[in-house]
Structure 1
Amino acid sequence: MTAVMDLRAVALAAAARGWPVFPLRPGGKTPAIKRWPQLASTDNDRIHHWWNTNPRYNTAIATGPAGLHVIDLDAGHMHPPATDFSEALARLTAVLPGPVPATLTIATPAGWHLYYRAPNQPRLRCTVARIGEGIDSRGHGGYIVAPGSRTPHGDYRIIDHRPVTDLPDILINRLTPPPPPVLPAGDWTSSTVAQPDSYLAAILAAEADRVAHARLHLRNHSLFRAALVLGRLVAAKEISEHHARTVLTTAAEAHIGVEGFTAAEADRTVSNGFRYSRARPRHLHR
């Protein structure tokens, strides 16, 4: 069996567990198809069609439809960087009121993924550093790279084969989003914020507030405008696309299911805003 065929097997194995998958670019982590939130599938025929198109595709698992919430321990973004899994796990437990249960664990080129079964309620979306420094998570609206996928920086491989266990209450409590911030006008302008990091944080909070409190008939327009603002920062590499998308999709969550507004529409609107702002990067003065 060649390595090329193995990559198809990765997708089929994940789908066999009931986890909807879709293809990623060969050797990479970015989607190889458009509209992946709608097209992720466990259907073998669709999977074979994708990998017949390019047998070198990596595999992504759509975490929300899979019923998963995955804790991402990013060793390099911890301070100081974690040197091994035991140390990274200790960093996680250090910021929680108790230990987390062992579960299916994947070593990634940058750290480790802990797979947990997501609760039905609350509906947990992706987070960035909400749990702690260098500790992100992937839930509704996100995806993770499946074990068996390969990148130039390393492979994704299982290091603990035990079954996926339920996301513990201590993590559910930490991951449940707080009420959206309410900022007085002017608290986030450059004239009142001295530090660039504070300025960036204030911009993110202001755009999240704009989206969360948008009027019913303006919510899509408000989300698009906010995506344009944050998309320019993404284009300038002031913030990662994942971080910007998480801020906006979390803010838009209050609108999901109201008067027909869907998560797919929110994702599409954010993607459009990022695409239109790509050619207009905004660099913050540092």
Structure 2
Amino acid sequence: MTPWEKALRSALYAIEQGYKAFPLSINKTPSVRSPHDKGHSCRGQCGKPGHGVHDATTDPAYARHLFDLSPRATGYGIACGGRMVGLDLDRKNGVNGVETVNQLAAKHGFQLPQTMTICTPSGGFHLWLSIPDGVTVPNSAGRLGLGIDVRGTGGYLVGPGSTGKAGEYTLHPKLGEVDVQPTPAQLLKLMLPKPATRRIPRADPSPVTASKALDGLVRVVLNAPEGTRNDRLYWAAAKAWAHVDDGHMGAAEVEAALVEAATRQGLTAGEAMRTVASARRAGVTA
């Protein structure tokens, strides 16, 4: 069985279980090419495939179509948001997210449940957790601590049965396939953005104006010349977070839009989220 066949079969099985899936390349990025020219801000409204996590589907026939469009796909993504979040615990380059989350658990008095757990090629883990209806958890990179990334609205996890450059993503050998468990209340509280003291907006922009501003920042990232991608992303993120602080934009929308644009430019989702998070921290301390 080829990696493509294994990824397709695994994605279809995930869809049977109720998850939304879409194909990934060996770099863990969306593998269906965008139908738009560089600089677009469409997130699937056009109805065509090629919009990253926005392609994720629970329709087996459409999933097969997406894989047919990506003959080099070697994996698949599981869309987060809705009632599911992912906890990505890295263990590489001297960072140990498992130790960090255990320290958080001891400090805040929660215990991680035995939930669906995926082993990553680098020795880390992806924990799948459920959240209550109506709760929106944003993506974050390192905000909870070193080696801990949160995959929420607009984010995705690499599904088991996928193959990346470093190897395969597999079910935890001791746990196997288990039900996704609720996020402990104290951990969920840590995942949510802290209430911020808002500045008084200089004006009350319409939703259309705010949307155009975000689209413009997304285009800055998408049009970044080679060698300037990270700097342009940081600049755009700093501008966007200022709009969030003013109450003009939503944090989850900003992070999802900029991270998606950066991954289309070749950055990994983790790199992009770390840069966006860094711009956020700089704005908070400025």
Q: Provide the residue aligned with 1:174 in structure 2.
A: 190
Q: Provide the residue aligned with 2:148 in structure 1.
A: 135
Q: Provide the residue aligned with 1:215 in structure 2.
A: 205
Q: Provide the residue aligned with 1:282 in structure 2.
A: none
Q: Provide the residue aligned with 1:205 in structure 2.
A: none
Task: Tell me, in whole angstroms, the C-alpha distance in 1 between the residues paired with 2:146 and 2:6.
Answer: 35
Task: Tell me, in whole angstroms, the C-alpha distance in 1 between the residues paired with 2:191 and 2:160.
Answer: 24
Percent identical among aligned pairs is 28
Q: Provide the residue aligned with 1:44 in structure 2.
A: 60
Task: Give the TM-score, by structure 1 length.
Answer: 0.66
Equivalent pair of 1:69/1:118 in contact (CA under 8 Å): yes
Task: Tell me, in whole angstroms, the C-alpha distance in 2 between the residues paired with 1:87 and 1:274.
Answer: 28
- 1:12 to partner: Cα distance: 0.6
Task: Tell me, in whole angstroms, the C-alpha distance in 2 between the residues paired with 1:151 and 1:100.
Answer: 27
Counterpart check, 1:224 vs 2:236: no
Question: What SS does structure 1 have at the residue aligned with 2:142?
Answer: strand
Equivalent pair of 2:23/2:76 in contact (CA under 8 Å): yes
Which range moves more in the overlay, 36-45 or 15-24? Answer: 36-45
Match of 1:81 among 60, 70, 95: 95
Task: Give the TM-score, by structure 2 length.
Answer: 0.66
Task: Tell me, in whole angstroms, the C-alpha distance in 2 between the residues paired with 1:72 and 1:17.
Answer: 21
Show structure 1 runs of 5+ residues with no match: 185-208, 279-286
Instruction: Summarize the Cα distance change of 1:94–1:236 in structure 2 as closer, same or farther, 3 Å threshold.
Output: farther
Task: Tell me, in whole angstroms, the C-alpha distance in 1 between the residues paired with 2:209 and 2:118.
Answer: 42
| Aligned residue identity for 1:93 | A
Instruction: Summarize the Cα distance change of 1:124–1:158 in structure 2 as closer, same or farther, 3 Å threshold.
Output: same
- Between the two structures, name the one with larger relative contact order (CA 8 Å, sep ≥ 6): 2
Instruction: Summarize the Cα distance change of 1:121–1:5 in structure 2 as closer, same or farther, 3 Å threshold.
Output: same
Q: Provide the residue aligned with 1:30 in structure 2.
A: 29
Instruction: Summarize the Cα distance change of 1:237–1:272 in structure 2 as closer, same or farther, 3 Å threshold.
Output: closer
How many residues of Structure 1 are paired with residues of Structure 2 in the alignment? 236
- 1:122 to partner: Cα distance: 2.4
Which range moves more in the overlay, 94-103 or 107-116? Answer: 94-103
Question: What SS does structure 1 have at the residue aligned with 2:108?
Answer: coil
Q: Provide the residue aligned with 1:163 in structure 2.
A: 179
1:104-134: CA deviation from partner (whole Å, max 9, x where unpaired): 1111134211110122132112122222122
Q: Provide the residue aligned with 2:228 in structure 1.
A: 235
Task: Tell me, in whole angstroms, the C-alpha distance in 2 between the residues paired with 1:19 and 1:46.
Answer: 14
- 1:90 to partner: Cα distance: 2.6
- 1:225 to partner: Cα distance: 4.5
Match of 2:161 among 138, 145, 148: 148
Instruction: Summarize the Cα distance change of 1:151–1:271 in structure 2 as closer, same or farther, 3 Å threshold.
Output: closer
Q: Provide the residue aligned with 2:5 in structure 1.
A: 5
Task: Tell me, in whole angstroms, the C-alpha distance in 2 between the residues paired with 1:274 and 1:11.
Answer: 21
Equivalent pair of 2:91/2:98 in contact (CA under 8 Å): no
